[in-house]
Structure 1
Amino acid sequence: MQLNAERKSHLIYWASGIVSICGIVFEVLFGALGSYILGDGVKQYTLTISLFLTGMGIGASISEKITKNLILSFVWIEFMVALVGGFSSFTMFGVTALLPEGSESLFLYLVTFIVGALTGVELPVLIRKANDLGVALNKSTARVLFSDYAGGLIGGLLFVFLLRPELGMVKSAFFVGCINLAVALFILWMFRDEIKGYRKHGFVGIIIAILMVGGLFFGEELAFTFEQKLYKDPIIYMDESQYQTIVLTKEQGDTRLYLNGGLQFSSTDEHRYHEVLVHPVMSQVPKHDEILILGGGDGLAIRELLKYDDVKNITLVDLDPAVVELANQNFHLLNLNEGALKNDKVKVLNKDAFEYLENEKKTFDVVLIDLPDPNNESLNKLYTKEFYSLVRNHLNPKGAMMVQATSPVFAPKVYWTINKTLEATGLNTENFHVDIPSFGNWGFVMASRMPIRTDELQVSVETKFLTSEMIIGLTYFGKDEDNDIMEKGKALVLEPNTLINPHLIEKYEEAWTYY
């Protein structure tokens, strides 16, 4: 059955809409890949979107040279998008695991540019074909562009709410590549009367389809072997939640939790971290009726808090329900946290900590801030003067907070900027640090309206590491980790980190470049 020109033009509009959905998915997928593997989400999304758009511009320029066999050209463009885009995530993990450092960023940016360029060729070719079918140029351009822009919105929503949480990054890439390929084969068949030897082109498409379907079903498993090489110990659990990639490893009794590739704890020494996080601040306050934990979805801080009989209520606010669910169900984590999250005193809320504090009226005796390091914009806002001011406003008059504040050895500017930011809220602060073998030397900041007398702080519950006599020793810092930071021969004046001036991220990236 041969189609008339009008029906063919309608097929072109539908094709442009579908491939634009695929294009926007690949664009945001590359940004997500960069954010996960390379860090600094804003930087990676900015670079990938810029490269993608630049590629589209160059592709549009190249399309001027395509004046014949427009449909066949479109089909082969989609073949290439399917192959390059489909295998992008899978190959990215392989490059990261097997090739020298720096190769992954080069590969990601190259793939982003190539797919962008191919996408840039698509639309002019389709517009030109619609025009050849008798549709006026102004109408063909407007209709194809409408399909493209509308498809872009749909693609973005699909990636955020369906593809990434349900399929993950490897399967999503293969799945979207399959859609590009399906569009190409469908257009090839519907326009077969215009294409000489269309069967041989279709045969190539079928070969690509076999590769893509194989990748869809087995690519993630193979990528898992690549991912395993990124971790010291065997992976026993891996999940990609709505917010992050969660990995649990275990080797000879050492269980480790990673979020987006960053180590959260090692079971061999996490007690050092959590005892310092919890017990000094619990000694600072006269009562323990209401406790708030921001982060800490693994339940390990709650385990320490439940050692105090006078604790009445513990509210845990952690954004990702997948972490809390893992801590409640995984055998290894349950052994570590002793089922703390299931205790009747504990209430778990899966909310953004900033939004929770903005809307919550309740005040607390103790607030523990056990959040990941400020390595991106979404986390940076939880290390700002505005955020700490919100926390201050939720403290009872004699209440106190303890903040994990990264390493004063590896990142002294970051650590003391966090301290400066807390001081800017009008609170008194005291600084602590402790050696944790899996992390190195790690820092904490206690803040309260009341004076903090470290010589009066006591450990009144059973611990594995911390004693009352040790607490004051944790407040002494060596010359290379104290707040007298010198830069170019001058004393560095640190400024509070704010929402308007989030300079903490830059300091963090600079500090951890060589670690």
Structure 2
Amino acid sequence: MNQLLWMAVGAGAVLSIEGLYWLYWRYVGSGSVRDYINEDQEPEGDYRILRKIKTPNQRIALVEYRGQMWIYGNGDVMFSTTEDENMYAEAMVHIPMAAAGKRNKVLIIGGGGGVTTREALRYSEVEEITAVDVDDVMLEFGKHLEAMVRFNRGSLNHPKVRTVIEDGRTFIENTPMKWDVIVIDVPEPTGRYPRLSRLFSVEFYRLLKERLEPEGAINIACSTSFWMPEYFWSIQETLKKAGFQVLPFHHFVPEDGEDWAFCLATTSPVDTDGLRMLVSTEYLTPERLKDMFYMPFYFANGQNQGDIQTDDNTVLLDIVSEADYEQDGNRKEYN
């Protein structure tokens, strides 16, 4: 009897050790998902990592969760096949399309998933869309991954769409082309990829201004982090420094508590009361559109706060780094 008991104890110990080793391998060691999925971005519940890919620019993970595809880059969700993605794409695309005088030529930087491209193709007057992404893997997912192609309705394979694998800054520096609408949908700079700061700098925004047709409009994605409003404010002030009229707006999603922030940039003033959706939209109702331009207290920049991001400083990176640090402790309170 004692022998059986000791055998059971021994077997339990072996299983415990193996379990601890697996946990170490998965979360700390060489197989760590933390290299590919940030803890605060991890799906709630069981999920499967279908592929992990390390490119010169980022670590990419293809994840299946509750029948949906989530694509991560450097730990953050880049795009997915969820309803949240539809809501985000509508805000990202249709507001600058409504604000622009024309919609013949559209540029999307950060267009690997093809969802924003799908929305831009809904306008019959669109003649050409240029979708730029730094990573060929992201564009391959948008072009050939069955679930993504079904979700984006084959947008990146459409004859009106030209895809470019290149850093967005480099592309802008080396092209003489101009566009009626420009969408900048890239994540915030982080310690893993600090060069993203060059896609938020005053020098880059001045280049965008040169590439914008008269009466054109630009939309900049400005993160969802309501606990770092300085990030949003600094982008606003940097755009103003580059010579733009700036209209900040946001899109709050009550279901998950996310509050996406955006900056609409134009060369002439835009009357938000006169903005109307030019195509049918599921989420951007007239009531919601009006509410999006009303800034809640934690986003409002009544005192013109915010520092200017340049090619030579780390304004946004410092804000993101501080906010990431404070997530583990007490978050700031903003009056």
Answer 1 or 2: which has greater helix percent. Answer: 1
- Percent of aligned positions with the same letter in both sequences? 29
Amino acid at match of 1:460: L
1:466-485 pair list within 5 angstroms: 466-484=284-302
Name the CA distance, whole Å, in 2 between partners of 1:239 and 1:226. Answer: 11
Shift of 1:284: 0.8
Structure 1: gaps spanning 5 or more residues: 1-90, 99-103, 108-169, 171-221, 485-490
The structure 2 residue matched to 1:510, chosen from 288, 305, 322, is 322
> Measured at CA, do residues 240 and 226 of structure 1 come closer, stay the same or move farther in structure 2, by a change above 3 Å?
closer
Match of 1:285 in 2: 100
Could you tell me whether the CA contact under 8 Å between 2:112 and 2:141 is conserved in 1?
A: no
1:30-51 per-residue CA deviation (whole Å, 9 max, x = no partner) reads xxxxxxxxxxxxxxxxxxxxxx
Question: What is the count of residue pairs matched by the alignment?
Answer: 299
The aligned amino acid for 1:476 is Y
**Normalization by structure 2: what TM-score?**
0.82
| 2:262 is the alignment partner of 1:448 | no
CA contact (8 A) 1:292 1:315 kept: yes
Unmatched 5+ stretches in structure 2: 1-19, 329-335
| 1:134-177 deviation digits (Å, cap 9, x = unpaired) | xxxxxxxxxxxxxxxxxxxxxxxxxxxxxxxxxxxx5xxxxxxx
Deviations 1:32-89 (A, max 9, x none): xxxxxxxxxxxxxxxxxxxxxxxxxxxxxxxxxxxxxxxxxxxxxxxxxxxxxxxxxx
- Matches of 2:184 and 2:21 in 1, distance apart? 34
1:357 equivalent in alignment to 2:172: yes
- Which string of whole-angstrom CA distances, capped at 9 and with x for unpartnered residues, describes residues 384-434 of structure 1? 101111111100111110000113613200011011111111110101111
Report the CA distance shift for 1:423/1:500 in structure 2 as closer, same or farther (over 3 A): same
Partner secondary structure for residue 83 of structure 2: coil
1:97 and 1:227 in contact (8 A); partners too: no
Tell me which protein shows more strand as a share of its residues.
Answer: 2
- Classify 1:306/1:237 alpha carbon distance in 2 versus 1 (closer, same or farther; 3 Å): same
2:166 is aligned with 1:348: no
Aligned to 1:512, the other structure's residue is in SS state helix
Q: Which of 229, 249, 273 is the matching residue for 1:432?
A: 249
The 8 Å contact of residues 79 and 113 in structure 2, kept in 1 or not, is answered as no
**Aligned residue number for residue 297 of structure 1:** 112
**Residues 249/453 of structure 1: CA separation in 2 closer, same or farther (3 Å cut):** same
Structure 2 counterpart of 1:415: 232
Contact 2:185 2:221 in 1 (8 A): yes
SS at match of 1:269: helix
Corresponding letter in the other structure for 2:208: V
Structure number with greater Rg is 1
Aligned letter for 1:238? Answer: K
**Structure 2 letter corresponding to 1:261:** G
User: Would you say the 8 A contact 2:237–2:304 is kept in 1?
Assistant: no
Distance 2:292 2:52 in 1: 35
Which letter does structure 1 place at the counterpart of 2:321? Answer: E
2:222 alignment counterpart: 405
In the TM superposition, what is the alpha-carbon distance from 1:251 to its structure 2 partner?
A: 2.3
CA RMSD of aligned residues (A): 2.7
**Structure 2 residue 198 is the aligned partner of structure 1 residue 381:** yes
Q: Distance in 1 between matches of 2:186 and 2:222?
A: 9
Query: CA–CA distance in 2 between the matches of 1:498 and 1:225?
Result: 30
User: 1-side partners of 2:117 and 2:164: how far apart?
Assistant: 14
Are 1:228 and 1:235, in contact at CA under 8 Å, matched by a contact in 2? no
- The 8 Å contact of residues 90 and 119 in structure 2, kept in 1 or not, is answered as yes
Aligned to 1:497: 309
Does the 8 Å contact 2:237/2:306 carry over to 1?
yes
Deviation track 1:284-313 (CA, whole Å, cap 9, x = no partner) reads 112111111111211010000011011000
Between the two structures, name the one with larger relative contact order (CA 8 Å, sep ≥ 6): 2
